[in-house]
Chains A and B, each alone.
Chain A
Amino acid sequence: MFGGFDAVELARAQFAFTMSFHIIFPVFSIGLASYLAVLEALWLATGREVYINLFNYWLKIFSVVFGMGVVSGIVMSYQFGTNWSAFADKAGPIVGPLMAYEVLTAFFLEAGFLGVMLFGLERVGPRLHFVATLMVATGTLISAFWILSANSWMQTPTGYATNADGQFVAADWLKVIFNPSFPYRLVHMVLAAYLTTALAVGAVGAFHLLRDQHLAGPRVMFSMAMWMATLVAPIQILAGDQHGLNTLEHQPTKIMAMEGHFESHPDGAPLILFGLPDEKAGKVRYAIEIPKLGSLILKHSFDAPMQGLDTVPRENWPPVPVTFWAFRIMVGLGLLMVALGLSSLLARWLGKLYQSRLLHVFAMAMGPAGFIAVLAGWFTTETGRQPFTVYGLLRTADSASPLAAPAVGSSLAAFAIVYFTVFTIGVLYVLRLMAKPPHPGEEGPSTDAPARAAGITPAVEGVMR
């Protein structure tokens, strides 16, 4: 078993698989933590009950999502050693400290205050509890800062030197942390987390409004979510465009793969909307393209020359079809998000925000769009930087652990079985929580445990079973 597979390919599959599952949860918990902080602030400021009801409603969902994020995240922190030990040895002196700072400044902050946030409102009072919520929300953002810094350094390494053992060492930590692609990636990712959360919250609101448009909680969450989508979706497209220009400057090959530019275009490159990239033939079949628009978007000039993959040695090509298609899925969903924001703005202006069934159906359909777009975006950037782990410096094939294919294959199979069972069930529990509307007197996780009346004796309970 697994004998016919290449250990490096299996290790890549394992990283992609465990990472794709993991990333869903932090994206949602980054957005939800901030949303919870806003809800609690509004409750403290206005005293309106609807805000604390919504807070407790989303807090239960947050606790399940956060738990899944923690356990799937621990797997990630050990993947560097289990499957990528050569990378750990060579890049550890740079990537290691960045991740250590993530643990010290973010993970402990989140974990330390999470207990108080989930269970401590009555014990510490509303003000101190709000501080705990803020700390958790801040922790999620600090975490994004460090992990994206580490990832960005692997994409656009700067501020390093190499030592006698062949390790990367820092020459200038500030240049390592604030490497060229980091600011763009951080903005793009945090906005993605907020937008994804807004779409999920909006879909839950829309779901309940479709059943009863007079419910206070769903009205408030739907309105807040739609404001977020209206404002952030266009900003995200701008941020994505800037990120793309930055990629063109530092990782032009990735752009060539994203755009499907196999050939160089000395007089202006087209924008290929759709087509089937054929790596063997080195061209995009059945391409639907708009002449010169590619150069306009990327170089802000119709006739600007663009180099293609024909200028890059074959062994340095990323897998073009995945990069090409993942990018289109992300952009397509982004445009739909803008459309949803504008539709909600129109409905709001017409006074139909809580009545328009069409809008509610649209918002519900867009509920998973953020998660899919995030995954598509990561597939674009991570596939597009292949075949390197440290871009241009350390090849993926030279980064793997000295393991035989059966070892990597068995662990991949084990992770696949465990992840599909555990996280599918977890997502079902989250959907079950979402299927109930928030109600007056909504309780947080603190008193939510089913059937916990104090007076039930074990004997009585035995009978009840």
Chain B
Amino acid sequence: MSLDLTTIWAFIIAFAVFVYVVMDGFDLGLGLLFPLFPQKAERDTIMNSVAPVWDGNETWLVLGGGGLMAAFPLAYAVIIPAIYTPIIAMLIGLIFRGVAFEFRWRVQRERNLWDAAFTGGSWLAALAQGIALGAILQGVHVEGRQYAGGWWDWLTPFSILTGFAVVVGYALLGATWLVLKTEGELRDKAYRLSWYLLFAMLGVIVAVSLATPFLSIHYAQRWFTWPNIVLTAPVPVAVACVSALLLRSLIDRQDSRPFFLTLALFALSYAGLGISMYPYIVPQSITITQAAAPRNSQVFMLVGVAILIPLILGYTGWAYWVFRGKVRAGMGYH
């Protein structure tokens, strides 16, 4: 029974992190692509497409971090010091990105400065998140109940690869978001970018998938041994199918579809990561059961989660609904 609760909590945390990744993913993606849209009118439209919702998107990061500390305190205590530098870099990136949303509307002359902060912050945060992912996947040095490695252990070719992969993924989310939310020349440009980024995304998915089994025999066994392969093989097949549909929607210029198909691509990649990691929360060192908070902490929070998450999804959905439709230049609501 206590194992069940732990598994439920693993899924809740995974869900919160996933929602964060895709929701702040497209916000950050817009920041990554900002230099490609040098004109002020375009930039205003891009900003306006997320101004009412970015804050809610970022809240999922706080839930992911806070929830991890609450439900798996040992994992939080080991993982965060292990990725100390990427985490600090991400936080600083998010500061620049976040304040740029407000500050750029308050000034005339220095606007380019805050646009640069928006871009730089987004790049720093996206890269740091990707590097953190790689650093966790490759495993960390644990002794007793503490991280026991150095403060540069996270930096490896693999973590650089995952950092780059996340940047590409976020950029694709951002580009397809613009396809969904804009019109005219801006949308045409977003379509073109989506093409390139889709192929880049498939490239990094393949690269990370090929590199992961070499990190640890555990990953190779998980994916390639019989009978696991019956369950793991559908993942790459599904990635291929979704990619085909996404390509199709880009060719047919169906504005409303590329973004959601990109979400599906993210969900599949994320499921792949889950398959690799389970049942570990700190790969090869600590399982979810070992890291789990005491049962009464899990139960106490589960009550709140069961009631509040549906409510949150409800009113967040309402906020997106209020600001639905295309954002037009000069008709922004900022």
Contact = CB atoms under 8 A, between A and B. Distances in A.
A75 B39 contact: no
A81 B62 CA distance: 12
B329 interface: yes
Listed residue (A71, A72, A73, A453) with the most chain B CB atoms within 10 angstroms of its CB: A71
Interface residues of B, number: 75
Contacts of B88: 82, 411, 414-415
Given A123-B333, A163-B294, A108 B304 contact: no
Contact of A169 (B62, B76, B102, B296): B296
Contact of B79 (A81, A111, A123, A167): A81
Interface stretch (B142-150, B191-199, B244-252, B269-277): B142-150
B333 A119 contact: yes
Listed residue (A100, A165, A425, A458) with the most chain B CB atoms within 10 angstroms of its CB: A100
Interface in B95-143: 95-96, 98-99, 101-103, 105-108
5 smallest CB-CB distances across A and B, nearest first, come from A92-B73, A81-B80, A115-B52, A96-B70, A454-B330
Interface in A54-105: 63-64, 66-68, 70-75, 77-78, 80-82, 85-86, 88-90, 92-97, 99-105
B54 to A, nearest CB: 9
Contact of B102 (A64, A88, A455): A64
Nearest to A89: B77
A86 B69 CA distance: 11
Contact of B297 (A94, A119, A123): A94
Given A414-B92, A454-B329, A113 B84 contact: no
A108 B145 CA distance: 32
B309 interface: yes
Nearest to A432: B106
12 contacts: A64-B103, A88-B76, A92-B69, A96-B297, A97-B297, A103-B59, A107-B63, A108-B315, A115-B322, A406-B151, A425-B103, A454-B330
B14 interface: no
B102 A63 contact: yes
A274 to B, nearest CB: 39
Contacts, number: 263
Contact of A120 (B52, B305, B316): B52
Interface string A131-146: 0000000000000000
B85 A407 contact: yes
B151 A445 contact: no
A415 B92 CA distance: 8
Interface in B141-176: 145-148, 150-151
A422 B77 contact: no
Contacts of A452: 44, 330, 332
Interface in A432-465: 432-433, 445-446, 448-456, 458, 461
Interface in B43-72: 44, 51-53, 55-56, 58-59, 61-63, 65-67, 69-71
B268 interface: no
Nearest to B47: A449
Contact of A116 (B62, B96, B322): B322
Given A82-B87, A119-B334, A401-B80, 18 more contacts: A63-B102, A64-B106, A75-B91, A85-B147, A89-B73, A90-B73, A96-B66, A97-B293, A100-B301, A112-B316, A115-B56, A120-B322, A173-B296, A402-B146, A406-B151, A415-B92, A446-B334, A452-B330
A275 interface: no
Contacts of A169: 294, 296-297
B190 interface: no
Given A63-B102, A455-B330, A170 B300 contact: yes
A119 B51 contact: yes
A331 interface: no
A403 interface: yes
A85 B76 contact: yes
Listed residue (A78, A102, A167) with the most chain B CB atoms within 10 angstroms of its CB: A78
Contacts of B73: 88-90, 92-93, 96, 167
A74 B94 contact: yes
A88 B69 contact: yes
A404 interface: yes
A64 B101 CA distance: 9
Contacts of A89: 73-74, 76-77, 145-146
A418 interface: yes
B66 to A, nearest CB: 5
B302 to A, nearest CB: 10
B105 A82 contact: no
B301 A97 contact: yes
Nearest to A106: B59
Listed residue (B39, B94, B315) with the most chain A CB atoms within 10 angstroms of its CB: B315
Nearest to B302: A97
Contact of B312 (A85, A112, A446): A112
A73 to B, nearest CB: 8
A118 interface: yes
A429 interface: yes
B248 to A, nearest CB: 33
Contacts of A111: 55-56, 58-59
Nearest to B328: A454
B52 A119 contact: yes
A123 B333 CA distance: 10
A458 B41 contact: yes
A426 interface: yes
Interface string A373-411: 000000000000000000000000000011110110001
A124 interface: yes
B80 A85 contact: yes
Given A403-B151, A418-B92, A422-B95, A81 B69 contact: yes
